[in-house]
Chains A and B, each alone.
Chain A
Amino acid sequence: MHAMGCNEAREWMSLRLDGRLEPAEEEQLSEHLRRCPSCALEWSHWQELDGLLRTAPGVAPPEGLSALVLERLRQQRARQIAGSLVVIGLQVTGLGVLMLGAVAYCLHGVAPVLSQVPYLIPAARFAATHLVTVAGVLGEAIGVLMRAAVSRRAALLAPAYALLAAGVMAAWLRVVVRRRPAAGGPAGA
Chain B
Amino acid sequence: MRDERTLLQQALMGDDTAFAGLVVAFQGPVYNLCYRLLGTPMEAEEAAQETFLRVYRRLHTYDPAQKLSSWILAIAAHYCVDRLRRRRHVVGVPVEEVLPRQPQEEKMAGPEERLLHHERQREIQDLLSHLPEGYRTVIVLRYWYDASYEEMAEMLGTTVSAIKSRLHRAREVLAARLGESPARLAAGESGRDVARDGLQ
Binary A-proximity of B146-187 (CB < 8 A = 1, otherwise 0): 000100000000000000110110011011101100000101
Q: Give chain B interface residues in 70-114, CB to chain A under 8 Å.
A: 102-107
Q: Is the CB of A59 within 8 A of B103?
A: yes
Q: Is the CB of A60 within 8 A of B195?
A: no
Bound: A4/B121 CA distance, A: 37
Q: Is the CB of B27 within 8 A of A48?
A: no
Q: Is the CB of B175 within 8 A of A55?
A: no
Which residues does chain B contribute within 8 Å of A70, judged by CB atoms?
16, 19-20, 23
Min C-beta distance of B162 to chain A, whole Å: 13
Known: A40-B195, A45-B178, A73-B16. A65 touches B120 (CB 8 A): no
Q: Is the CB of A47 within 8 A of B194?
A: yes
Which residues does chain A contribute within 8 Å of B21, judged by CB atoms?
66
Q: Is the CB of B175 within 8 A of A57?
A: no
Does B45 make an interface contact (CB < 8 A)?
yes
Known: A62-B41, A65-B48. A53 touches B139 (CB 8 A): yes
A15, A34, A57, A67: which contacts B121 (Cβ < 8 A)?
A57
Which residues does chain B contribute within 8 Å of A51, judged by CB atoms?
187-188, 190-191
Q: Is the CB of B124 within 8 A of A53?
A: yes
Q: Is the CB of A18 within 8 A of B105?
A: no
Min C-beta distance of A16 to chain B, whole Å: 11
Q: Is the CB of B49 within 8 A of A52?
A: no
Q: Is the CB of A68 within 8 A of B49?
A: yes
Bound: A68/B168 CA distance, A: 39
Bound: A24/B73 CA distance, A: 33
Bound: A12/B158 CA distance, A: 20
Q: Is the CB of B143 within 8 A of A54?
A: yes
A10, A47, A50: which contacts B168 (Cβ < 8 A)?
A10
Bound: A168/B56 CA distance, A: 111
Q: Is the CB of A76 within 8 A of B53?
A: yes
Q: Give chain A interface residues in 54-87, CB to chain B under 8 Å.
A: 54-62, 65-70, 72-73, 76
Known: A20-B149, A44-B196, A57-B117. A52 touches B188 (CB 8 A): yes
Does B64 make an interface contact (CB < 8 A)?
no
Bound: A51/B178 CA distance, A: 12
| Nearest B-chain residue to A58, judged by Cβ | B32
Min C-beta distance of A37 to chain B, whole Å: 8
Q: Is the CB of B142 within 8 A of A18?
A: yes
Residues of chain B whose beta carbon lies under 8 Å from any beta carbon of chain A: 16, 19-21, 23-24, 27-32, 35, 41, 45, 48-49, 52-53, 56, 102-107, 117, 120-121, 123-124, 127, 139, 142-144, 149, 164-165, 167-168, 171-172, 174-176, 178-179, 185, 187-192, 194-196, 198-199
Going nearest first, the 8 A-B pairs with the smallest beta carbon separation are A44-B195, A48-B191, A61-B31, A66-B23, A45-B175, A14-B168, A48-B188, A51-B191
A sample of 17 more A-B contacts (CB under 8 A), given A30-B198, A66-B27, is: A13-B168, A14-B171, A34-B199, A48-B187, A48-B192, A49-B127, A49-B191, A52-B123, A52-B127, A53-B143, A56-B124, A61-B30, A65-B31, A65-B52, A70-B23, A73-B53, A73-B56
Q: Can you list 17 contacts pairing A with B, beta carbon distance less than 8 Å?
A: A10-B168, A11-B165, A13-B168, A14-B171, A20-B149, A40-B198, A44-B195, A45-B175, A45-B176, A48-B188, A50-B191, A53-B143, A56-B120, A59-B105, A60-B103, A66-B23, A72-B49
